[in-house]
């Protein structure tokens, strides 16, 4: 199995808060499946749900950087 993955970290405004790490991986095994791993370890394989998660993250980042 070959795997390509990336990760990103959200940097909170308040340094006392923790910063979650998100992983997005593309497994190039026989399933050719895209997998979203949330900070709590939950893995999402449904593409619609992955896109919803990404949209929510980008909305959050947009609000974060507007302040």
Distances (CA, A) of 55 to 16, 28, 45, 52, 60: 26, 24, 16, 5, 9
Residues in CB range of 34: below 8 A, 6 or more apart: 24, 25, 26, 27, 45, 47, 50
**CA-CA distance, 30 to 28, in Å (whole number)?**
7
State pTM to two decimals. 0.56
Domain layout of the chain by residue ranges: 3-66
What is the pLDDT tens value at each position of the chain, 67 positions in all?
444 555 556 566 665 666 666 666 655 556 777 777 777 778 888 889 988 888 887 887 787 777 5
| pLDDT tens per residue, range 28-39 | 556 777 777 777
Residue 62's pLDDT is what?
A: 80
């Amino acid at each position: 199995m070959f795997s390509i993955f990336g990760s990103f970290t959200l940097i909170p405004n308040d340094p006392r808060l923790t910063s979650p790490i998100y992983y997005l991986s593309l497994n190039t095994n026989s399933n050719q499946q895209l997998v979203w791993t949330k900070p709590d370890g939950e893995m999402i394989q449904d593409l619609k749900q992955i896109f919803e998660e990404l949209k929510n993250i980008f909305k959050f980042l947009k609000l974060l950087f507007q302040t």
